[in-house]
A and B are shown apart, each in its own frame.
Chain A
């Protein structure tokens, strides 16, 4: 499903404007860009932000006692045109004809190209290998890397139909990568606990 268009692009990732206001793809989920013939660049959503189109202007309060939440948008339809939602993704790999290569792409994705969500099958295929965790842990951005990793693990776990085995593997991989940072590791491990 097409969810956005690339408005900034570089070797480590890309920024998109979301088609739907207030509805970027979930933090930590996988997205893809068709960069060539049967060739997709995959990214993990690492940040989302909604604000005014005009960087100088900030949103102001529009609700009253009678009009609030969704009604604000009904009352002020122009908001669709003065606000925008953006999301940032970390590039994590390329899938070409079913072959997954995890790592930074050789070329940044083309500007103005569409970004799609990944299906369950695509997510399952990509996440068989957990090497991409290293890229997530080196991402720079407002979201702390351990929270990003935790978000990704949660999303993927659900996409994989609550795959307990994969979750254990992901936990072990996280522990291995964060063996020298116990506090961050604990933050990840407790965050990815399945809610019973």
Chain B
């Protein structure tokens, strides 16, 4: 199977891809859409993907009366002569073979095509290693190609330096994939991580649909991972390190705009928050909640706010105020301490416990991230002045689920997440968004996602969305549509040299051993929580 010859190039073009006529002894069923194959040209090797498979006949008369019950002699005579198959192949990378360049060459963008009758081969292990990199520090084996047993590696440092997305309809294993990636990123030290864990899935052991238990990141990685929670009760039961509270003083008008849908506010009502902010500054929410109806009337008079809208806003926010994690006045120091911990190489999982409604999730995530980015910007600015390595803020990756709630076209312009996604890595902060409705995400944000890992998507709009800004989209659609319902993904973008279909590795005992093994050398000292922030 490895390196076997499949056929020869007979037609094609640079833009349309190459047509390869399959050899008579290579049946179409030996190949799959999305398979990694290699075209051997005279001066270059072209690493390519199969994008289509077609059947042909040399004489149309055979279609009118196909031989049925043909004796074997007849059947084998016809195969490959009167009847034959072709595959469409899209070159993605090319490697210069000229001998004077020696070992130093690396695969580069395709700028030419091979001549007629160049041979097509299956990719070998050597080809995978050439393209995807060998075993190494930041080359994380995320799985294998669908029909081979060779590891496909993701370049983690490239992965974290831009924002990314994990997509796929529900049940395709996005959270397992996220766990794999986070383990890889944390153990390799590619970035510090802040994970907004909406359903409390990542930190501790959890039982899956089919009844088995999977390890949590805290169990696997020990004190490299800190667990925060906004649910004090849950925190007491589980092994949570810090309980986080959020202050009314920390809520800004932009948060209300983001939550307009969740709070069931009209646009006017949401905009009223802005007017209050203008008048009362940081204190606007407490002022609003304390207002009597006279105060309200007076305010509306002077500011031009709509009275009904303002009343509605007050009513809704009084509901919100009752949440257990919200207090009047909370300092920013707990969040600042999070940043310190992140700066020292820890990763943080923020759980929500029973406060896992979209409203709570979005509110807390927005507030925390806003503060963190402000601090990061300050750090970055100081680093640019001093240029001392010690001042460089470490790469931070924020994992965000249900991303379409934060990054839909209206929210994306307003929230901190939209800003981070668009800024790329200006302040060393990037996002990892996990979502099953990529069509809900703003197109501009989507085009900024450097690496996209997609499981099966069936909605046309979702497929279109995920392929926004990716070259050679039409044939990738074929690959996307042919994915298995679970554990198969298409990787494309910044962290892989070319798109590739992958069977993701299972998140199981073998993986746990692997992770623990690679983590030994870099085990961080098991210190008490308070000591982490101590000087």
Q: How large is the interface on B (under 10, 10 to 19, 20 to 34, 35 or more residues)?
A: 10 to 19
Interface assignment of A171: CB less than 8 Å from any CB of chain B: yes
B59 touches A181 (CB 8 A): yes
Q: Which residue of A lies closest to B59 (CB)?
A: A182
Interface assignment of B513: CB less than 8 Å from any CB of chain A: no
Interface assignment of B320: CB less than 8 Å from any CB of chain A: no
Task: Mark the stretch among B67-75, B86-94, B170-178 that contacts chain A.
Answer: B67-75
A182 touches B61 (CB 8 A): yes
CA gap between A129 and B443 in the complex, in Å = 63
CA gap between A180 and B58 in the complex, in Å = 6
Q: Which residue of B lies closest to A188 (CB)?
A: B77
* CB interface residues, A 160-196, toward B, < 8 Å: 167-168, 171-172, 174-176, 179-183, 185-186, 189-190, 192-194
Contacts of B74 in A (CB 8 A): 171, 186, 189-190, 193
A193 touches B73 (CB 8 A): yes
B58 touches A171 (CB 8 A): no
Give the shortest distance, in Å, between A170 (CB) and chain B (any CB). Answer: 9
A167 touches B62 (CB 8 A): no
Give the shortest distance, in Å, between A16 (CB) and chain B (any CB). Answer: 33
Contacts of B62 in A (CB 8 A): 182
CA gap between A176 and B80 in the complex, in Å = 9
Q: Which residue of B lies closest to A192 (CB)?
A: B73
CA gap between A181 and B71 in the complex, in Å = 19
Contact string, B89-102, partner A, CB cutoff 8 A, digits 1/0? 00000000000000
CA gap between A2 and B58 in the complex, in Å = 44
Give the shortest distance, in Å, between A36 (CB) and chain B (any CB). Answer: 38
How many residue pairs link A and B with beta carbons under 8 A? The number is 45
Give the shortest distance, in Å, between B342 (CB) and chain A (any CB). Answer: 68
With contacts A181-B59, A183-B61 taken as known, whether A168 is within 8 angstroms of B77 at the C-beta atoms is yes
Majority secondary structure of chain A interface residues (helix, strand, loop or mixed): helix
CA gap between A183 and B62 in the complex, in Å = 8
A172 touches B82 (CB 8 A): no
CA gap between A174 and B81 in the complex, in Å = 9
With contacts A175-B82, A179-B82 taken as known, whether A189 is within 8 angstroms of B61 at the C-beta atoms is no
- Which of A176, A179, A192 is packed against the most chain B CB atoms within 10 Å? A179
Give the shortest distance, in Å, between A195 (CB) and chain B (any CB). Answer: 12
The answer, among B59, B61, B81, for a CB contact under 8 Å with A176, is B81
The answer, among A171, A185, A186, for a CB contact under 8 Å with B73, is A171
Interface assignment of B78: CB less than 8 Å from any CB of chain A: yes
B76 touches A185 (CB 8 A): no
The answer, among B67, B76, B82, for a CB contact under 8 Å with A168, is B76
* CB interface residues, B 174-199, toward A, < 8 Å: none
* CB interface residues, B 110-149, toward A, < 8 Å: none
Contacts of A182 in B (CB 8 A): 59, 61-62, 82
Contacts of B61 in A (CB 8 A): 182-183
Contacts of B82 in A (CB 8 A): 175, 179, 182, 185
Give the shortest distance, in Å, between B72 (CB) and chain A (any CB). Answer: 9
Contacts of B77 in A (CB 8 A): 168, 171-172, 174-175, 189
Contacts of B58 in A (CB 8 A): 179-180
Can you give 16 A-B contacts (C-beta < 8 A)? A168-B77, A171-B74, A172-B24, A172-B76, A172-B80, A174-B77, A175-B77, A175-B81, A176-B81, A179-B58, A182-B62, A182-B82, A186-B67, A189-B73, A193-B74, A194-B73
- Please name 13 further chain A to chain B contacts, defined as beta carbons within 8 Å, in addition to the given A175-B82, A189-B74, sorted by A numbering: A168-B77, A172-B24, A172-B76, A172-B80, A175-B77, A175-B81, A176-B81, A179-B82, A182-B59, A185-B59, A189-B77, A189-B78, A192-B73
Closest 8 A-B residue pairs measured CB to CB?
A171-B77, A175-B81, A179-B58, A182-B61, A182-B59, A175-B77, A189-B74, A176-B81
- B interface residues (Cβ-Cβ under 8 A, vs A): 24, 58-59, 61-62, 67, 71, 73-74, 76-78, 80-82
